[in-house]
């Protein structure tokens, strides 16, 4: 996890590796409600393997010659896993759908039902996980260690870090693109996203990014495989502009960013906010994520601010997970806490040599952010551990927007 160094449990490490295969990492969304079977919108339950949610909905839209805006989903699920979730296509009946089992690669259609309402981002309770940790130090002993960690986390809560999925797992650059946008350097943002090769990438990806960095845009485009659809979209925008009026200008780079799907381009600044949030929470863990500190900004379980804090009862409410301390996803309007935690928040901004005002992103204002306060911890439920021949399997439920890797790192005792 980026910008994360501390642990809040003191057990010995189990060690081990996750994601040795996609089958080792199973995620199932728990929706707020199931489709009713009636209505003008169609919900589609899928199980996918090795594909992102956005890739699947884009393929659906393309197959039906529809705008991507007519598709919806409650949460973005990453590529390196077996994941189960509901998708939605608006203003269409189940009978009008093609056979997606024949069209979609590595996707199984589990259920199709009509519903009155569309499915929108965030409309889920949380996610169930079943995760195999392979090659642990001593599987028999590690079952007990994992159980002890999970019981401890049930009491304190889990540090609410953002995982590598937020930044890119092989090539963690999403937050760097966001930082460029916050700093107002749009060309650098585009160059960071398309170029900037990582030696751990597939050879073709590496060579294509290298060609882009050398200024060979068309050669880079021609070499890029279909899996680099977003990079290709941006390069096409740039080469079209280059043919029309020669040298590329800042406006051309802005148009390249704007050519991306809304969920993706919105993610850049959000990822930079998440990167800074991780650093703040890392420091907060040193003074306690389950303790009230004077000056804290507190939210309840519905993420509503608690304006009148009763200092006689606030710690009991935190202990019972009725309320939680927060840290900022830094933006142009988010307030900082007071006290020592406020000093932590301000220092992170100062160290980055930015201001909250910069998050308005005046050159790409639609991608700017006001910021919000987010809980520094989350509750974990329905835990279970069992022994495997070469490791352990852990199961748990966590709320939407929270990352399983925040749990796993406390068991393994290294960043994952």
Phi first, then psi: what are they for 351, rounded to 5°?
-65, -30
Give, as one character, the DSSP assignment of residue 413: S
SS3 call for 173: coil
Q: Which two tokens stand for residue 308?
A: 């009148």
CA–CA distance, 254 with 275 (Å, rounded to integer): 23
Give the rounded distance of the alpha carbon of 63 from its chain centre. Answer: 27
Q: Which two tokens stand for residue 213?
A: 């960095």
- The closest alpha carbon to 173, from 214, 148, 201, 131, belongs to 201
- Bridge partner list, 374: 327
Phi first, then psi: what are they for 155, rounded to 5°?
-85, -45
CA–CA distance, 65 with 63 (Å, rounded to integer): 6
Give the rounded distance of the alpha carbon of 152 from its chain centre. Answer: 25
- The closest alpha carbon to 29, from 56, 55, 47, belongs to 47
- Bridge partner list, 375: 326
Name the H helices within 331-401. Answer: 339-352
Asked if residues 404 and 129 have their Cβ atoms less than 8 Å apart, the reply is yes
Q: Are strands 377-378 and 158-159 parallel, antiparallel or unpaired?
A: antiparallel
Q: Within 13 Å of residue 49, how many CA atoms lie on the same side as its CB?
A: 9
DSSP string, 265-285: HHHHHHHHHHHHHHHHHHHHT
Asked if residues 119 and 74 have their Cβ atoms less than 8 Å apart, the reply is yes
- The closest alpha carbon to 67, from 46, 92, 84, belongs to 92
Residues forming the active site = 78
Residue 146: how many other CB atoms lie within 10 Å: 28
CA–CA distance, 107 with 49 (Å, rounded to integer): 7
Asked if residues 331 and 324 have their Cβ atoms less than 8 Å apart, the reply is no
């Amino acid at each position: 996890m980026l910008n994360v160094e501390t642990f809040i449990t003191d057990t010995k490490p189990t060690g081990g590796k996750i994601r040795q295969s996609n089958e080792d990492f199973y995620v199932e969304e728990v929706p707020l409600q199931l489709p009713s079977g009636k209505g003008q919108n169609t919900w589609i339950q899928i199980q996918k393997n090795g594909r992102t949610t956005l890739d699947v909905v884009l393929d659906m839209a393309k197959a039906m010659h529809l705008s991507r805006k007519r598709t919806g989903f409650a949460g973005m699920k990453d590529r390196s896993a077996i994941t189960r979730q509901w998708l939605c296509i608006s203003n269409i009946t189940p009978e009008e759908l093609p056979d997606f089992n024949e069209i979609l690669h590595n996707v199984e259609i589990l259920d199709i039902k009509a519903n009155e309402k569309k499915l929108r981002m965030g409309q889920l309770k949380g996610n169930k996980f079943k995760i195999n940790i392979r090659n642990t130090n001593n599987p028999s002993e590690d079952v007990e260690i994992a159980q002890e960690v999970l019981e401890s986390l049930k009491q304190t809560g889990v540090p609410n870090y953002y995982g590598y999925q937020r930044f890119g797992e092989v090539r963690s650059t999403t937050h760097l693109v966001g930082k460029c946008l916050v700093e107002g350097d749009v060309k650098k943002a585009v160059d960071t996203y398309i170029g900037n090769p990582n030696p751990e990438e597939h050879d073709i990806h590496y060579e294509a990014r290298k060609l882009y960095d050398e200024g060979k845009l068309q050669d880079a485009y021609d070499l890029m495989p279909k899996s680099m659809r977003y990079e290709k979209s941006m390069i096409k925008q740039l080469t079209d502009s280059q043919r029309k009026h020669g040298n590329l200008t800042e406006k051309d780079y802005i148009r390249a960013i704007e050519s991306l799907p809304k969920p993706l381009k919105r993610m850049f600044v959000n990822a930079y906010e998440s990167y800074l949030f991780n650093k703040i929470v890392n420091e907060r863990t040193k003074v306690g994520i389950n303790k009230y500190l004077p000056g804290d900004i507190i939210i309840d379980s519905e993420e509503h601010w608690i304006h009148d804090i009763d200092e006689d009862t606030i710690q009991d409410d935190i202990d019972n997970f009725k309320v939680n301390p927060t840290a900022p996803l830094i933006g142009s309007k988010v307030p900082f806490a007071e006290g020592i935690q406020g000093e932590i928040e301000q220092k992170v901004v100062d160290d980055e040599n930015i201001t909250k005002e910069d998050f308005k992103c005046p050159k790409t204002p639609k991608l700017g952010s006001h910021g919000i306060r987010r809980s520094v911890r989350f509750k974990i439920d329905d835990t279970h551990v069992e022994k495997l021949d070469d490791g352990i399997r852990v199961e748990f439920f966590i709320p939407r927007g929270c990352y399983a890797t925040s749990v796993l790192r406390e068991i393994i005792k290294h960043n994952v």
